[in-house]
Amino acid sequence: DGGITQSPKYLFRKEGQNVTLSCEQNLNHDAMYWYRQDPGQGLRLIYYSQIVNDFQKGDIAEGYSVSREKKESFPLTVTSAQKNPTAFYLCASRPGGAENTEAFFGQGTRLTVV
């Protein structure tokens, strides 16, 4: 089945460790996005990529890094520089070009840093 997959669903890490969240899609979508959601809050954009080998910072990029070496994959690394990394992380993808096309989300990764 086509879709967007995030793994793992739950992730625990010690403070000071880097951690990489996986996001894979087989929808042949050009654009991919990473968001962070805190309890009772909306989604805040971390990074986005509109095409392979290119990505841009979103509104809260500090302490995060991404890569887009393949169309299907857009991994997010939460570095030790991120002051408050515990959150719900959501990855999305959508076709490039056409404007009124929906974004599809993965099921999210809940990261807890202890």
Partner 1 sequence: RKEVEQDPGPFNVPEGATVAFNCTYSNSASQSFFWYRQDCRKEPKLLMSVYSSGNEDGRFTAQLNRASQYISLLIRDSKLSDSATYLCVVKGGKLIFGQGTELSVKP
Counting contacts by CB under 8 A, is residue 33 touching partner 1?
A: yes
Cis, bond preceding 8 (omega within 30 deg of 0): yes
- How far apart are alpha carbons 102 and 33 in whole angstroms? 13
Please say which residue, 16 or 40, places its beta carbon nearer to partner 1.
Answer: 40
- Nearest 10 degrees: CA dihedral of 7, 102, 99, 87? -40
Question: What residues from 81 to 100 belong to the interface with partner 1 (CB under 8 A)?
Answer: 88, 90, 92, 94, 99-100
Contact window for partner 1 (CB under 8 A) among 22-30, 35-43, 62-70, 75-83: 35-43
Residue closer to partner 1, measured from CB, 50 or 79: 50
For partner 1, the binding residue among 42, 54, 97, 114 (CB under 8 A) is: 42
Q: Does 34 bind partner 1 (CB under 8 A)?
A: no
Q: Reading across the β-sheet that carries 4-7, which strands appear in turn?
A: 4-7, 19-25, 76-78, 64-66
Residue matched to tokens 């000071």: 16
Does the protein bind partner 1 through residue 43 (CB under 8 A)? yes
Distance CA 79, CA 76 (A): 9
- By the rule CB under 8 A, 52 interacts with partner 1: no
